[in-house]
Amino acid sequence: MIKADSADVHWDPQKKTWRVRIRFGGEVIKRPVEDRKIPRDAADEALRKLAIETARGDGYEVDPGTITISR
């Protein structure tokens, strides 16, 4: 697996779903999370887990300490 620099989980008000951005080097991968029903008021730990699983699904490993959450 490739080590990602960081990840960001943010709420998309138009689509009413969470989105994950994975950063490594100068690259950014954006992934919608439409297949899971995670509520807008989900706990930070659930959102960090979501970012880790999303990154893993694309072959990246992300440190939980580098994940930011924007509500």
For 30-58, what is the mean pLDDT?
Answer: 91
Nearest 10 degrees: Cα torsion 66, 44, 57, 62:
10
Rounded to a whole number, what is the distance in angstroms from the first to the last CA of the chain? 29
pTM, rounded to two decimals: 0.90
Domain boundaries, position 25: 2-70
Q: How many domains does the chain have?
A: 1
Give residue 33's pLDDT: 86
* 26 pLDDT above the threshold of 90: yes
Check if the beta carbon of residue 68 is closer than 8 Å to that of residue 9.
yes
Q: Which of 52, 5, 54 is nearest to 28 (CA)?
A: 5
